[in-house]
Amino acid sequence: MRSEGEAGRASEGSPEDVPLMKTSKDPTEFSWYFLLPCMIFLGLVFVYPISFFLLRTFFDPHPSLMHVRHLFADPVFLKVYWITFKISFIVTFICLLLGYPIAYLLSEVSDRTRNLLLILVLIPFWTSLLVRNYAWMVLLGRRGVFNNLLVQMGIVDAPLTLLHNTFAVTVGMAQMMTPFMVLALLSVMKGIDRGLVRVAESLGANPFEAFLRIFVPLSLPGVGSGCLLVFIYSLGFFITPALLGGRKDVMISVVIEEQVSTLLNWGFASALSLMLLVATLVFFLVYSRFFKIEQIG
Amino acid sequence: MDLLSIDRFEESRTSLGKYFFYSLCALIFVYLVIPIFVIIPISFSSAKYLQFPPQGFSLQWYADYFGSRTWISATLVSLQVAILTMIIATILGILASLALVRGSFKGKKLLFGFILSPMVIPVIITAVGIYYVFAKIHLIGNVIGLVLAHTVLALPFVVVNVTATLQGFDITLERAALSLGANRLVTFIKVTFPLLRPGIISGALFAFITSFDEVVVAIFIAGSRAATLPKQMWDGIRIAINPTISAVASLLIVFSILLLLFIEILRRRFTKWRG
């Protein structure tokens, strides 16, 4: 009871509820009607198609749990999920390893240098996804840039198989997701008080120790949001695994596309999508619980 | 060792650490940026297939691109779809943002999350769902279908940009206009809109590029009659690596860097102007 009373008082005291200028209707306020066009649009072109498609999991061709059972009975499909999670996890880890130093550098330098270096981070972010994947195909192919260099320098005798395997998918996805990680880390690192690190140093910690024990713990919120973000996006990756991946380690999005385009197995594609959607939403709920969703852009 | 030399030792160690750190960062930047630029020299190659280092110099792949009806029509379709998407997404996005930031009703956070959800939901699911429904109402293989689908994907970017601008907004300027006798519409056009313009422009550009680069939905619903540039490239890459794509890709790289620089300049002018 006591806590309830306190909560009531707290909300009464919150600034939004103070009727400062609201003696009559606030003229700078906008009605919820303004949301209507957007909501109707999303309802028709987004919610309706997706739910209609996902419902086929249970109604194709007649009401049953056939597709769900199929999915859980066939180890091939469970393995696809496992591979998707595994690749996403590895990609997230690599992005953290690569993104942390860059974000640290960006948070240390002057505003001018930061803006310049940020452009380097944003270039891959802005270049068409297809172009970036194509670039990796050109680099990693049998007659690609790397193999040419390796053979010419005499490091290997015959070209290596660098493309159409998990290695290529991981390398490509990590390059595409690292900018997201850098931006998430940077937004937290910029707010860290460097005075604390200097205090630790003046109290006898060496710079590395001060960094490890003061700076790193303070940057953990950025690590959390960056990792969750990269992981969520990685789960649904389609273009990179389709173009750089092989037949062995397929990711879930590629299987969904195949079920729809080649096998025309809508019910099963729908069951696979439902599982992917549930996984994505679970991680997204965790994200929105701890972090501001505005930052996903 | 006396104290001074310990100090020097420490200093040299930290500067060594610094050099190591800087070269590490340089390597990471190389990994992030260089792969993209490898395409550009290759696109000027005179060889008949892709190779690196490129041999000779020719504009054959560019000539191929500009001389091909399919590539040019794909480019025009992409531009048309992206411009229409940008217009619709921007209008819907501005209206929604005004309500989300200035409205006083329950569940704003939830609705905001809902509008952003096309960004989070795996695009393959959105694409297949839209394909499934659009196929029934004959919206496959035409520009309208593409514009509708792309607007879904572009809306979140407009809303994120416009709500961010609206939030850091001095509401007293509008109050001043209103108290001086302007009505709400005039206030919006003369005060609110100009202040929102940077957010609207960057949101609109995001919407444009989202549509212009979009592949997954286009693969499903563009068909061959309304093939967009990314769809055409996708087919070209998947079926056989057609070197013309290196020319198209190079043009796209230059195009997106110009857009990025434009947005950066805009953002900086805006932040400077705001102080």
Domains with residue ranges and CATH for chain A: 64-296 (1.10.3720.10)
| B92:A53 CB<8 A | no
| B38:A243 CB<8 A | no
How high is the pLDDT of residue B244?
86
Name the most confidently modeled range: A77-86, B40-49, B194-203, B260-269.
A77-86
Cβ proximity of B63 and B251 under 8 Å: no
Phi, psi angle pair for B10, to nearest 5°: -60, -45
Check whether residue B140 and residue B206 sit in a common domain. yes
How high is the pLDDT of residue B1?
46
Which helix (H) or strand (E) is B105 found in, with range? none
Cβ proximity of A25 and B80 under 8 Å: no
> In this model, does residue A35 exceed pLDDT 80?
yes
How high is the pLDDT of residue A15?
45
DSSP-derived 3-state class of residue B2: coil
How high is the pLDDT of residue B163?
92
Which helix (H) or strand (E) is A122 found in, with range? helix A111-126
In angstroms, rounded to a whole number, what is the distance separating the alpha carbons of residues B17 and B22? Answer: 9
CA quadruple A94, A95, A97, A103: dihedral, nearest 10 = 170
Check whether residue B8 and residue B103 sit in a common domain. no
| B120:A284 CB<8 A | yes
- Which positions 96-135 of B are in contact with A (Cβ < 8 Å)? 96, 98-105, 109, 111-126, 128-134
Cα four-point dihedral sign A70, A72, A74, A79: positive
| Angle B154-B158-B163 from CA coordinates, rounded to 5° | 150
> In this model, does residue A151 exceed pLDDT 80?
yes
> In this model, does residue A277 exceed pLDDT 50?
yes
pLDDT band at A17 (very low <50, low <70, confident <90, very high): very low
> In this model, does residue B275 exceed pLDDT 60?
no
Residue-wise pLDDT tens digits, B237-262 = 887 667 888 899 999 999 988 888 88
Mean pLDDT is lowest, of A187-201, A237-251, B37-51, B228-242, for: B37-51
User: Which tokens in the block code for residue A114?
Assistant: 């930061």
Q: Is B251 part of any domain?
A: no
Q: Is B272 part of any domain?
A: no
Give the contacts of B131 (CB within 8 A, at least 6 positions apart).
A260, B140, B217, B220, B221
Computed over every residue of chain A, the mean pLDDT equals: 85
How high is the pLDDT of residue A210?
86
Cβ proximity of B181 and A27 under 8 Å: no
Q: Is B44 part of any domain?
A: no
In angstroms, rounded to a whole number, what is the distance separating the alpha carbons of residues A289 and B104? Answer: 22
When pLDDT is averaged across residues B203-232 and rounded to a whole number, the result is: 92
> In this model, does residue B2 exceed pLDDT 60?
no
Residue B252 has its nearest CB partner, among A56, A128, A266, at: A128
Å from B121 to nearest chain A CA?
7
Q: Is B52 part of any domain?
A: no
Tell which residue, B238, B49, B57, has the closest CA to residue A144: B49
Q: Is B249 part of any domain?
A: no
Check whether residue B108 and residue B166 sit in a common domain. yes
| B99:A33 CB<8 A | yes
Residue-wise pLDDT tens digits, A52-95 = 999 988 887 778 888 888 888 888 888 999 999 999 999 999 99
Q: Is B47 on the interface with A (CB under 8 A)?
A: no
Q: Is B195 part of any domain?
A: yes
Check whether residue B87 and residue B25 sit in a common domain. no
User: Which tokens in the block code for residue B176?
Assistant: 């001043």
Which residue in this structure is represented by tokens 């015959």?
A158
Check whether residue B216 and residue B125 sit in a common domain. yes
How high is the pLDDT of residue A14?
43
How high is the pLDDT of residue A294?
64
How high is the pLDDT of residue A86?
95
| Angle B170-B174-B177 from CA coordinates, rounded to 5° | 140
Residue-wise pLDDT tens digits, A252-272 = 999 999 999 888 889 899 999
When pLDDT is averaged across residues B139-153 and rounded to a whole number, the result is: 95
Check whether residue B193 and residue B114 sit in a common domain. yes
Å from A75 to nearest chain B CA?
22
> In this model, does residue B94 exceed pLDDT 60?
yes
Check whether residue B227 and residue B157 sit in a common domain. yes
In chain B, the number of structural domains is: 2
pTM, full prediction: 0.87
Rg (CA), chain B: 25
Check whether residue B23 and residue B158 sit in a common domain. no
When pLDDT is averaged across residues B46-61 and rounded to a whole number, the result is: 75
Nearest-Cα residue of chain A relative to residue B38: A135
How high is the pLDDT of residue A19?
46
When pLDDT is averaged across residues B132-152 and rounded to a whole number, the result is: 94
Check whether residue B79 and residue B203 sit in a common domain. yes
Q: Is B257 part of any domain?
A: no
> In this model, does residue A3 exceed pLDDT 70?
no
Cβ proximity of B97 and B163 under 8 Å: yes
Check whether residue B229 and residue B159 sit in a common domain. yes
Check whether residue B11 and residue B87 sit in a common domain. no
More confident site: B155 or B103: B155
Residue B186: count other Cβ atoms within 10 Å of its Cβ.
Answer: 12
| B119:A207 CB<8 A | no
Q: Is B271 part of any domain?
A: no
In angstroms, rounded to a whole number, what is the distance separating the alpha carbons of residues B57 and B42? Answer: 9
CATH, residue B162:
1.10.3720.10
Chain B residues with beta carbon closer than 8 angstroms to that of A148: 51-53
Cβ proximity of B46 and B58 under 8 Å: yes
Chain B residues with beta carbon closer than 8 angstroms to that of A119: 260-261, 264
Give the contacts of A187 (CB within 8 A, at least 6 positions apart).
A222, A295
Check whether residue B146 and residue B89 sit in a common domain. yes
In angstroms, rounded to a whole number, what is the distance separating the alpha carbons of residues A35 and B100? Answer: 8
Residue numbers of the domain that contains B128: 68-242
